[in-house]
Amino acid sequence: MKVNLVSRNGREVVKGGIELTDEATVSDLQEAIHARIKKYYPSRQRLTLPLQAGSKGKPVVLIPKKKLADYCDGNANNLTVVFKDLGVQVSYSTLFFWEYLGPLVIYPVFYYFPVYKYFGYEGERTIYPVQTYALYYWCFHYFKRILETFFVHRFSHATSPLSNVFRNCAYYWTFGAYIAYHVNHPLYTPVGDFQIKIGFTFGLICQLANFYCHLILRNLRSPDGNGGYQIPRGFLFNIVTCANYTTEIYQWLGFNMATQTIPGCVFLVVATLIMTNWALTKHRRLKKLFDGKEGRPRYPRRWVILPPFM
Amino acid sequence: MAVEDVDGIYAHFGGSSAHLIKLHQCAHLASPPPFSIRIPSPSSMAGFLYALRRIYLSLYNWTVFIGWFQVLYFAVKALREGGPTTVYDAVEKPLQLAQTAAVLEILHGIVGLVRSPVSATLPQIGSRLFLVWGILWSIPETRTHVLVSSLVISWSITEIIRYSFFGMKEALGFAPSWLLWLRYSTFLLLYPTGITSEVGLIYVALPFIKASEKYCIRMPNKWNFTFDYFYASIIALAIYVPGMFLVLLIIQVNKDCLPNCFNHISSGSPHMYGYMLGQRKKALSKSKTA
């Protein structure tokens, strides 16, 4: 069969189209495109069916495993596919590694090195125990995240646009420096011992819970990375859809309880907003997918992210 | 309000106003007949709210229009009479009122009264408020600078065109093509001059900010918080150009509401400028064929 590859404004992307066997899959098409145009490796391609004139709604995205023939509704020999270049892609592991490496490296710099003299604070500084524990807690957190990136997470999409690297790194690294500056400051004021102990203990428990949540999520996906959605079950997922985000938020709350800085709290608020946004999307998607019809299970009633608020 | 007016507004939205007229008439009777008090149907309720929205937005836009008109009038008057150093004192009150009133526009976006994306209006209004209150009002040494004149004139002409455009659309349902032309053409000059003035004034203010230590919070304190207005202003300066670029990106993503959010741009980036030239072409050619 012949595939006409067009861009969104109608221009032919591959002159003369692409010839494939009738049994060819979308994945074969992606490989063929890549062979014709070197820079368009498969993860950079977004292939959709053309939208019918006048119809609203989102275009149908071609799924790599499916056969091209499944998308031909009539003319079995000819198929028009719309192509969009997603831009340079990086693997999610790469993205996560770089965005987490920043905080892991930057924070200890403020702790160990005499950076504050460049801000006008000369002389020795007394380091409080809480500042040392905060260093360990923080570094453990980001080290854990990097390990999870390489050994635990199974990603639904293999790649992410390169621009996300800059955006995400800016976010993590800037906040990392902002918090590190304040917690390790020579004029830092610690809170009471009890509050510190509760904060770090609670935070640590939440970090462990968070790790367990990631393990559960990992087991929802098969190793071949098919990325099909399933209803998460077990542990906190029985109560809340995005238990992993919940534990993450509470873990930062623990850190802030122990260190009590405004920058830390700002980070907590921003991170909560971002994760809540993700959680709402995920919750809606799962509810829509698992509607109880046609033999599919019905998505159970659950909190979205932060009981009892949402 | 006369019954005819109610009907007139309703005719506009095709809602049923019959029952409302009855209610109105009944208000004048000593003992209204029981059958004439009816609960408004959902469609007429929606129509009523739509009318209310239009009245409110007309009032809002024309009121702020008058504010900016005053700014321009007093600015030009002061320039002719006393020169650039006297402009700020002449325009201070209407400027502060008119620009601060724009905060309402963020609310309008949040509650959905208008279609502009909050993500585009927030940085725009934020930067304006920063200039009006954070620089001009807080750092008096900047008030006599010549850039104040270029700033208020660029802003006021832009806003006069913008608010009258929206004021007409809300009140009359349409805006004349010459006003559309003005809106899409005056930015060519006014946005560069406006941005230059804004950036220039922040730069001029920097040494005074550093010396006065205004709005600075130092450690130690219970919440381990610091704020340095000097460095914050430098960061504001640094994100001005890419910041406007970002606003452009956000607007591009929200393409369907472009006519409304177009206004919430103050351009500094050459990329944005070129983009808006393209939009101008599109908008003006569209109005020709319409």
pLDDT tens track for B202-219: 999 999 999 998 999 998
Q: How far is B226 from chain A (nearest CA, A)?
A: 8
Pairwise CA distance, residues B257 & B275, whole Å: 16
Residue position matching structure tokens 């000059």: B189
Pairwise CA distance, residues A228 & A238, whole Å: 19
Q: How far is B193 from chain A (nearest CA, A)?
A: 30
Residue position matching structure tokens 């946005």: B191
What is the per-residue pLDDT for B277? 67
Residues 38-77 of A with CB under 8 A from B: none
pTM of the predicted protein model: 0.75
Say if the Cβ atoms of A189 and B221 lie within 8 Å.
yes
> Residues A171-196: pLDDT tens digits?
999 999 999 999 999 999 999 999 99
What is the per-residue pLDDT for B140? 95
Residue B6 predicted with pLDDT over 70: no
**What residues contact residue B289 under an 8 Å CB cut-off, 6+ apart?**
none
What is the per-residue pLDDT for B1? 35
Domain residue extents for chain B: 49-281
Q: What's CA A60's distance to the chain center, in Å? A: 23
Pairwise CA distance, residues A238 & A240, whole Å: 6
Q: What is the ipTM of this complex?
A: 0.76
Residues 239-298 of A with CB under 8 A from B: 259-263
> Which band of pLDDT confidence, cut at 50, 70 and 90, is reported for residue B2?
very low
Name chain B contacts of A260, Cβ cutoff 8 Å. 222-224
Best CA proximity match to B143, nearest among B95, B102, B189, B77: B95
> Residues A190-224: pLDDT tens digits?
999 999 999 999 999 999 999 999 999 888 877 66
> Residues A161-170: pLDDT tens digits?
999 999 999 9
Question: Does the annotation count B191 as an active-site position?
Answer: yes
Of the ranges B13-22, B141-150, B255-264, which is most confident?
Answer: B141-150
**Sign of the CA dihedral running A263, A264, A267, A268:** negative
Question: Does the annotation count B163 as an active-site position?
Answer: no
Pairwise CA distance, residues B211 & B233, whole Å: 14
Q: How far is A264 from chain B (nearest CA, A)?
A: 10
Say if the Cβ atoms of A182 and B221 lie within 8 Å.
no
Tokens matching residue A151: 């050994």
What proportion of chain A, given as a percentage, has pLDDT over 90? Answer: 47
> Residues A72-107: pLDDT tens digits?
777 777 888 889 998 899 999 999 999 999 999 999
Residue B47 predicted with pLDDT over 90: no
- Cβ atoms within 10 Å, residue B223: 16
The mean pLDDT of B26-49, rounded to a whole number, is 63
> Residues B215-252: pLDDT tens digits?
999 989 999 999 999 999 999 998 886 766 665 565 55
Residue A262 predicted with pLDDT over 90: yes
Say if the Cβ atoms of B219 and A259 lie within 8 Å.
no
Say if the Cβ atoms of A260 and B223 lie within 8 Å.
yes
Residue A227 predicted with pLDDT over 80: no
- Chain A and chain B share a number of CB contacts under 8 A equal to 30
> Which band of pLDDT confidence, cut at 50, 70 and 90, is reported for residue B200?
very high
Of the residues A262, A265, A268, A274, the best mutation for testing chain B's interface (the one with the most B CB atoms within 10 Å of its CB) is A262
Residue B7 predicted with pLDDT over 50: no
Beta-bridged to residue A85, according to DSSP, are: A45
> Which band of pLDDT confidence, cut at 50, 70 and 90, is reported for residue B109?
confident
Top-confidence residue, A157 or B124? B124
In the predicted model, what is the mean pLDDT of chain B? 78
Least confident of A51-55, A255-259, B20-24, B145-149: B20-24
What proportion of chain B, given as a percentage, has pLDDT over 70? Answer: 71
Catalytically annotated residue among B60, B184, B198, B275? B198
Q: How far is A185 from chain B (nearest CA, A)?
A: 9
The mean pLDDT of B88-108, rounded to a whole number, is 94
> Which band of pLDDT confidence, cut at 50, 70 and 90, is reported for residue B25?
very low
> Residues A288-310: pLDDT tens digits?
888 877 777 888 888 888 877 77
Best CA proximity match to B226, nearest among A124, A289, A262, A284: A262
Peptide bond into A308 cis (omega under 30): yes
In the predicted model, what is the mean pLDDT of chain A? 88
Say if the Cβ atoms of B223 and A261 lie within 8 Å.
yes
What is the per-residue pLDDT for A212? 93
Catalytically annotated residue among B60, B191, B229, B275? B191
What is the per-residue pLDDT for B265? 42
> Which band of pLDDT confidence, cut at 50, 70 and 90, is reported for residue B113?
confident
Top-confidence residue, B116 or A223? B116
